Amino acid sequence: MVLWYALAIAFTAMSAFAFVPAPFMNLWDSLSGGWMHEWTTGELASMTIGLGLIAFIVSYLLLSWDKLTFLLAPSPVKTARVHAAAVRHFKVGAERRTHGRTGVLLYLSMREHRAEIVADEPIAAIVGAEVWGEAMADMLVEIRQGNIASGLVAGIRDVGVVLSEHFPREVDDENELPDRLIEL
């Protein structure tokens, strides 16, 4: 994807030069001693290609720099990335792995500063998003204050309350999934 963006930026720079060449030529003339001269077709073509090449290399290097692209990513993109990662991890680690399909994942992305609660299908069919929103709000209050462990405890507590209301524990129930923190 970086390659395509870098190519687009390079062609945009070359198109801007072709459309309005005077500022670029004046800049070059001032950098080369201030002497004005008549530009030949070959010089203009070389300058266009050179500008495109420089724009491509600079934009490719900048877009390949992970920290910069992360900072420039819009909020909806970060949210979608976190949601996709949470669903992917849930599908691999918990989905359909319990007898009553009552698995729940609390996913916290420290890098994006986002959290997700993902539940097995029977839970998601009964429990509305607003209920998870309350659990999420309780969790994020603590996390925003720097109390990550307390935030996770609050989220787990609220999820447990929701599960006990809709899926009460049976006498012979056993914990089918490990209750543990997994740091990726």
| Residue 106 pLDDT | 87
Residue 38 DSSP one-character state: P
**Spatial CB neighbours of 53, under 8 Å, sequence gap ≥ 6:** 10
Q: Are 135 and 156 in contact (CB under 8 A)?
A: no
| Residue 102 pLDDT | 76
| Residue 10 pLDDT | 95
Instruction: Please name the residue ranges forming H helices in 20-40.
Output: 22-31
| Residue 15 pLDDT | 93
Q: Are 14 and 55 in contact (CB under 8 A)?
A: yes
pLDDT tens for the chain, 184 residues: list them.
789 999 999 999 999 988 888 888 888 778 777 666 777 888 888 888 999 999 999 999 988 888 877 777 888 888 898 889 888 888 877 766 677 777 788 888 888 888 888 888 888 888 887 888 888 888 889 888 988 889 888 988 988 888 888 888 777 777 777 777 777 6
Distance CA 84, CA 90 (A): 10
Q: Which residues pair with 119 in a beta bridge?
A: 104
Q: Write down the pTM of the prediction.
A: 0.63
Q: Are 162 and 131 in contact (CB under 8 A)?
A: yes
| Residue 34 pLDDT | 65
**Region of residue 35 (left: phi > 0; alpha: psi -120 to 50; beta: else):** beta
Q: What are phi and psi of 104, to 5 degrees?
A: -135, 140
**Spatial CB neighbours of 155, under 8 Å, sequence gap ≥ 6:** 106, 115, 117, 135, 136, 138, 139
DSSP 107-122: EEETTTTEEEEEE-HH
Distance of CA 82 to the CA centre of its chain: 6
